[in-house]
Structures are given as structure tokens and as C-alpha cells.
């Protein structure tokens, strides 16, 4: 789908951002990562901050610790300073303990999941930790840990339905999440694609491809917007339908901005691994919807169907910036859509740095107005998320260096 054929609220066809325009934002982000090294050398920032914009120290539980490890690898990639590499690689023991069950994960989101492996988020957890370490250092132990994580992720696949179950016990039909998948899983698939490349075992990639196809067919609406959560009958393979009560949307049939960003980035990555033009078209279709509904400062509201005054989500903007850059890399150089995607990504990063950075505040985070969940009662400005910070620096790395992804 041609972005230029859509009605958009802005025109970037004549806009050009230069990499050096992001030097100040990148320096701020790197300084903040450096300042956090002592606090989080053997622990991890909490998933979000609350109004004080300060991360607490957590063990390697929940789905988010690898975003801090990933921030350290990004800082190493950008600067070449071994101090960041040493902190990031020092986390490997905890990721190994999680995958072997030696590290008990005991929190509400992983109830009954003492190994911390009953989740599709193994892709997030191990792509930005063990895979990143192997890609950058060739560490064989990191490779083996990542492959073991890929095995656990592949175990969550329901063959008949062709989907990876998001949460809960995938072997228990009584589990409330049995047969349920979410659009976020598109960013977990690179772990499986990578595992096939490493081992020559095609089943990992086949699972990832099948899941992406089912996501495109059932979670992406005709207008390019996405559902968050969707249920399948794992016995018959038939789609049951959207599960709005399990998703993050503002309304039953609305479109969660971060989910839209996951779709843009996830399908662009799926195309990179498979060359399947349908995945590229799906990424473009999702992008067209995103562009048509984006706020004028390039940072989306939590949900595109929420009121204009509803909370923003800078993490969605940061994820989308990375996805747009990935998408652009797969389009012909002469295609105007490539330039528009590149410039929209840069415009988003510029807005995040100019309008939402914590620079000058008493904070150990990077971006404000980033949220774990929607609420009409929260302060509309003061919150940060560790994944929002990660994707902001990844976007800056993409914008200013010849960066090779961990995904």
C-alpha cells in the first residue's frame, strides 16, 4: 500500500533530517546508561517508574530485564567502550539461571511459573541478552542459552492453530489464556528465525512463519489496524475471535498504539528473515494506518481511538521509529515511501528527544509519558518504561550508526 495514496496529517516527502541532529540526544541517553551501571550491574531496572521517574532494582523476572541488558549492548555498539559489554555479558548467569529453573520467578504475571519460561516473551528476554552477546562476541555459552530459550518458545506452538500461545500454561486447556496470542509476539519471532539459521533446523523458522501468517490473517484488520489479543481453538485450528477483555485497547474495537508499532516492526523483521512479500505488505499496511492516525508531534496517544486528551505513549513512538527504519531498509532506494518512512522515524526520534526526554530531571530513565497500562487516573506525564528507553536508544543507534540488529 502506497503511503502517498493515503490522507495524512503531514507531508515528509521534502523533509530531511541529518544524523548529526541527534548527537545531543544520543549523548544524553549514553550518559544516563553510564550513570545507571553501578545501580544495575547485577540487577535490572523495574518495568516502569511511577511518577518519580526512577527505576527500582529488580531480579531477572517479568518480561522486561533484557531491555536493560540491551541498552548496555547498544551503548557498547555505539561507543566501543568495554565497560558496557562487561555489564551486559555479566547478566548472562541470571538469564541462564532463569532458563534452567535455578532462578525462581515469583510474581503475579508468572504465577506458578517458577522457571520463568511459560511465556512467549522469551524472544524479548533472550534476543537482547544471549543472542546479542553471541552476535557481538561469539560466546558459545550465550549461543547455547539462546537456543535453549528458542526450544521453550517453540514448545508454546499449537500446530493445528498455527500460533504461539502468549501467556499461561500452553498444555492446560483450563488455563484462561489457552489458545490466546497477542500482536506483541511478532517481536519474539526473531529468536526462532535466528535459531534456524544457527542450527539448520527448519522447524523454528516454520513455527515463526506460520505464527506471522496467522497474525496477519486474524489480528490485522482490513484497515491496517490491529487487535491486541486473539483466541484460537487449538483443537480445530479455527479462529475464535478478538479478546478485548484480555487486551490493552482503550475500547473493545479500538487500536492500541503500541500494538500497532509491534506490528510494523515485527512484520518488517519477518520479511527480513523470510523474503515473504506478504509480510512486507502487511508492515506497509500497518504503517499506513499508523501514519493516518498519528498526532502532529509524531508521538501517538495510548490508543488511536482514545480521546485527544488521553495519555500519550512514547514507547509506542520509539518502537515505531525502529520499525519504520527496518521497513524502509527493505524498500527500493528510489521508492518515495522509503524516504517517507525514514524521515518519519527521524521526526519521531527528534520529537521524543525535544519534548519527552528526562534530561534535566531527577531521574534515571530516558523518556517520560511511557506507560505499562492505560488509566484515566494517572498523572499524564510522569512515568517511564524500560522498553521505551531501550527502543529510543535503538532508534538513535539506527539513525546515527551502521547498526546491526540483535533481532
Known catalytic residue at 121? yes
Question: Among the options 48, 77, 121, 313, which is catalytic?
Answer: 121
Q: What is the per-residue DSSP string for 186-252? A: GGTHHHHHHHHHHH--HHHHHHHHHHHHHHHHHTB-TTS-B-SEEEE-TTT--EEEE-GGGS--SST
The torsion angles phi and psi of 22, rounded to 5 degrees, stand at -105, 10
CB atoms within 10 A of CB 148: 18
8 Å CB contact between 116 and 98: yes
Phi-psi region of 208 (alpha: psi -120 to 50; beta: other; left: phi over 0): alpha
Rounded Cα distance, 117 and 149, in Å: 8
Is residue 301 within 8 Å of 376, Cβ to Cβ? Answer: no
Sign of the alpha-carbon torsion through 109, 113, 114, 115? negative
Distance CA 170, CA 175 (A): 8
Strand partners, 158: 163
Beta strands 229-232 and 180-182 are: antiparallel
Could you give the CA distance from residue 260 to residue 240 in angstroms, rounded to a whole number?
21
Q: Which residues contact 27 (CB under 8 A, 6 or more apart)?
A: none
**Catalytic residue from among 184, 303, 313, 389:** 184
Q: Which residues are catalytic?
A: 121, 184
Amino acid at each position: 500500500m502506497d503511503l502517498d495514496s493515503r490522507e495524512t496529517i503531514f507531508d515528509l516527502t521534502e523533509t530531511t533530517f541529518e544524523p548529526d541532529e541527534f548527537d545531543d540526544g544520543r549523548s544524553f541517553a549514553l550518559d544516563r546508561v553510564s550513570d545507571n551501571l553501578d545501580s544495575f550491574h547485577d540487577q535490572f531496572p523495574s518495568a516502569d517508574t511511577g511518577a518519580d521517574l526512577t527505576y527500582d532494582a529488580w531480579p531477572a523476572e517479568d518480561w522486561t530485564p533484557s531491555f536493560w541488558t540491551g541498552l548496555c549492548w547498544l551503548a557498547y555498539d555505539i561507543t566501543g567502550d568495554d565497560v558496557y559489554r562487561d555489564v551486559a555479558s555479566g547478566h548472562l548467569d541470571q538469564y541462564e539461571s532463569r532458563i534452567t529453573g535455578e532462578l525462581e520467578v515469583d510474581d503475579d504475571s508468572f504465577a506458578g511459573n517458577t522457571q520463568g519460561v511459560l511465556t512467549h516473551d522469551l524472544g524479548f528476554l533472550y534476543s537482547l541478552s544471549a543472542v546479542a552477546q553471541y552476535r557481538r562476541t561469539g560466546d558459545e555459552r550465550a549461543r547455547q542459552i539462546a537456543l535453549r530459550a528458542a526450544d521453550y518458545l517453540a514448545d508454546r506452538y499449537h500446530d493445528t492453530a498455527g500460533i504461539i500461545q502468549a501467556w499461561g500454561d500452553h498444555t492446560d486447556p483450563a488455563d484462561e489464556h489457552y489458545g490466546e496470542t497477542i500482536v506483541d509476539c511478532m517481536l519474539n519471532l526473531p529468536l526462532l528465525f535466528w535459531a534456524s539459521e544457527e542450527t539448520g533446523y527448519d522447524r523454528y523458522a516454520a513455527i515463526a512463519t506460520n505464527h506471522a501468517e496467522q497474525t496477519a490473517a486474524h489480528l490485522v484488520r482490513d484497515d491496517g489496524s490491529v487487535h491486541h489479543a486473539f483466541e484460537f481453538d487449538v483443537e480445530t485450528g479455527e479462529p475464535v475471535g478478538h479478546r478485548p477483555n484480555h487486551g490493552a485497547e482503550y475500547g473493545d474495537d479500538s487500536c492500541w498504539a503500541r500494538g500497532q508499532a509491534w506490528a510494523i516492526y515485527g512484520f518488517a523483521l519477518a520479511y527480513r528473515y523470510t523474503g515473504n512479500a506478504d509480510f512486507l505488505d502487511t508492515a506497509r499496511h500497518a504503517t499506513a494506518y499508523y501514519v493516518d492516525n498519528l498526532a502532529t508531534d509524531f508521538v501517538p496517544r495510548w490508543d488511536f481511538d482514545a480521546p485527544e486528551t488521553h495519555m500519550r505513549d512514547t514507547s509506542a513512538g520509539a518502537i515505531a521509529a525502529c520499525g519504520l527504519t527496518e521497513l524502509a531498509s527493505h524498500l527500493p532506494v528510489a521508492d518515495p515511501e522509503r524516504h517517507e518512512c525514514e524521515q518519519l522515524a527521524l521526526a519521531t526520534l527528534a520529537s521524543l528527544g525535544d519534548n519527552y526526554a528526562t534530561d534535566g530531571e531527577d531521574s534515571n530513565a530516558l523518556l517520560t509519558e511511557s506507560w505499562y497500562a492505560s488509566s484515566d487516573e494517572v498523572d499524564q506525564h510522569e512515568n517511564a518504561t524500560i522498553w521505551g528507553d531501550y527502543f529510543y536508544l535503538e532508534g538513535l543507534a539506527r539513525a546515527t550508526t551502521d547498526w546491526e540488529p540483535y533481532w
